[in-house]
Amino acid sequence: MKTIDDLAQDGLSGKRVFVRADLNVPLDGTTITDDGRIRAVQPTIAKLAQLGAKVIVASHLGRPKGAPDPAFSLRPAAERLGELIGREVAFATDTVGESARAVVAGLGEGEVAVLENLRFNPGETSKDDAERGAFADQLAALADVYVGDGFGAVHRKHASVYDLPARLPHAAGDLIAAEVTVLKKLTEDVKRPYVVVLGGAKVSDKLAVIDELLGKADRLLIGGGMAYTFLKAKGYEVGISLLQEDQIPKVTEYMERAAANGVELVLPVDILASADFPDLKTKAPADYVTVDADQIPSDKEGLDIGPKTRELFASKIADAETVFWNGPVGVAEHPDYAGGTTAIARALLNCDGFTVVGGGDSAAAVRSLGFDENAFGHISTGGGASLEYLEGKTLPGLAALED
């Protein structure tokens, strides 16, 4: 893949550079609750501006249904980007319409604009190649050069990710280049012991990556809602915990394969369980009990790993040379159930090996719990993209950037 530095050799001053970023930040109304993805792409945008480019930033936000929806406007992200780069950022109220054309036409060298949400247009996510291509043609008319830097979207075959690079000279932004470098450390010439920590709600979301890791990782630590399907497969009572019964045969197979392959698959040994899911708005104190993993009451659900499991998981991480962590191991949005996720983060900080926080909810949890992002080896901006890379899949957005 070419880089921005390769493009700069031919000169970028005065050129319209379309940056496919990932500004898909969580919002509470119009307030950004975690600006990590904006901060991650800000250096690329600032670099292009310093090179004299007319920078056109585009992104999706949320899942609007192919039509404008004020709840998913990128205006708050554009305003935050302006604060981070220390200059005014113009905002187009559409993506390829009159406002976008006018805003782009008005850009001077080193100036930046953000287009409205790409997904307000049905062509962005269409499965029809012609419809998607027609939208990519409209986007291409706005620019001279394409820079892909939205790592969180490279696993999507969308117009701005997959089709647009074919229509313009293109290169990978610094963020994508960094992400790919890190992922290669997790898949090629991995330093061992290699420990993977997987959390999150559904085991079905992680089946493919578990399947791949059973041939690569030395230890696989399972927490979060997905752990209860594993515990049920062992014959344990899991009460009203999150459970995917249809996945029990597959999970059983994976546990057998782990044993056969010499992969240490580590499950929780104790659980924080409650009859009530916590109120995540008021954060009112929760009523829970701590029980062994095989003693979850029938009327309660597991909401976090317990203190013995936190110590166990930390001990399995301590001597690792490489650690990949994806997914909180409890309901980390509530203070009473954030202890397990906090313990995983601390274990990574105490580990001398190369540590990667695999994007999405785990990256947001690290920031919300007050940890210094720079203390980790790498915090990814793309949870789904990272997992699909580790699964060995070809990611459309990365393939499109290759020459």
374 is in an annotated binding site: no
**37 labelled catalytic:** yes
362 is in an annotated binding site: yes
360 is in an annotated binding site: yes
336 is in an annotated binding site: no
206 is in an annotated binding site: yes
367 is in an annotated binding site: no
Catalytic residue among 148, 224, 384, 397: 384
Q: What's the rounded Cα separation, in Å, for the pair 397 and 172?
A: 10
Phi, psi for 295 (deg, rounded to 5): -130, 30
Catalytic residue among 199, 306, 360, 383: 360
State CA 268 to chain mean position distance. 24
157 is in an annotated binding site: no
**239 labelled catalytic:** no
346 is in an annotated binding site: no
Sheet containing 322-326, strands listed edge to edge, beginning at the edge strand earlier in sequence: 264-266, 219-222, 194-198, 322-326, 354-357, 378-379
The long-range contacts involving 244-251, CB below 8 angstroms and separated by at least 24 positions, are 244/202, 244/203, 244/204, 247/203, 247/204, 247/207, 250/207, 251/203
62 is in an annotated binding site: yes
**215 labelled catalytic:** no
Q: What's the rounded Cα separation, in Å, for the pair 197 and 317?
A: 9
The kind and range of the H/E element at 89 are strand 89-91
Catalytic residue among 202, 250, 257, 346: 202
156 is in an annotated binding site: yes
Pairing of strands 289-292, 219-222: unpaired
The token duo for 27 is 């919002």
Q: What's the rounded Cα separation, in Å, for the pair 369 and 335?
A: 9
Going through 275-312 in order, the beta strands assigned E by DSSP cover: 289-292, 301-305
Catalytic residue among 15, 37, 300, 316: 37
Q: What's the rounded Cα separation, in Å, for the pair 104 and 113?
A: 7
59 is in an annotated binding site: no
**257 labelled catalytic:** no
359 is in an annotated binding site: yes
302 is in an annotated binding site: yes
> 111-136 burial, b if ≥16 CB within 10 A, otherwise e?
bbbbbbbbbbbebbbbeeeebbbebb
The CA-based diameter of the chain, rounded to the nearest angstrom, is 67
Task: Give the residue numbers of the binding site for (2R)-3-phosphoglycerate.
Answer: 37, 119, 156
Which residues carry a binding-site annotation for ATP?
206, 302, 333, 359-362
Catalytic residue numbers read 37, 202, 360, 384
Known binding-site positions: 22-24, 37, 60-63, 119, 156, 206, 302, 333, 359-362
Residue numbering of the annotated binding site for substrate: 22-24, 37, 60-63, 119, 156
